[in-house]
Amino acid sequence: MENILENVTERIRGKGRSIVFPEAVDERILIAASQLSASGILQPILIGEPGEIEAKARQAGVDISTCKILDPANYDQFDEMVAEFVRLRKGKATEESAREILKSVNYFGTMLVQMGEADGLVSGATHSTADTVRPAFQIIKTKPGIQKTSGAFIMVREEEAYVFADCAINIEPDSQALAEIAIKSAETAEVFGIDPRVAMLSFSTKGSAHSEVTERIEEALAIAREKDPALVIDGELQFDAAYIPEVAELKAPNSAIQGNATVFVFPTLDAGNIAYKITQRLGKFTALGPILQGLNKPVNDLSRGCSADDVYKIAVITAAQAD
Task: Give the pLDDT of residue 208.
Answer: 87
172 lies in the same domain as 99: no
Task: Give the pLDDT of residue 91.
Answer: 86
Domain holding 221, by residue range, is 150-286
Q: Please answer whether residues 150 and 165 qualify as being in contact, where contact means their C-beta atoms are separated by less than 8 angstroms.
A: yes
109 lies in the same domain as 231: no
**110 part of a folded domain:** yes
**291 part of a folded domain:** no
List per-block mean pLDDT (blocks of 10 residues) for the chain, which spans 323 residues.
79 92 96 95 96 96 96 95 95 93 96 97 92 92 89 92 95 96 95 94 91 93 96 96 96 95 97 96 92 94 89 94 86
135 lies in the same domain as 58: yes
Please report, for the domain that includes residue 220, its CATH number: 3.40.50.10750
Q: Tell me the pLDDT tens digit for each residue of 91-146.
A: 899 999 999 999 999 999 999 999 999 999 999 999 988 899 899 999 999 998 88
Total number of domains constituting the chain: 2
Task: Give the pLDDT of residue 1.
Answer: 54
278 lies in the same domain as 317: no
Question: Which of 185, 159, 216, 148 lies closest to 291 in space, CA to CA?
Answer: 185
Please report, for the domain that includes residue 62, its CATH number: 3.40.50.10950
How far apart, in whole angstroms, are the C-alpha atoms of residue 291 and residue 257?
24
262 lies in the same domain as 311: no
205 lies in the same domain as 281: yes
22 lies in the same domain as 49: yes
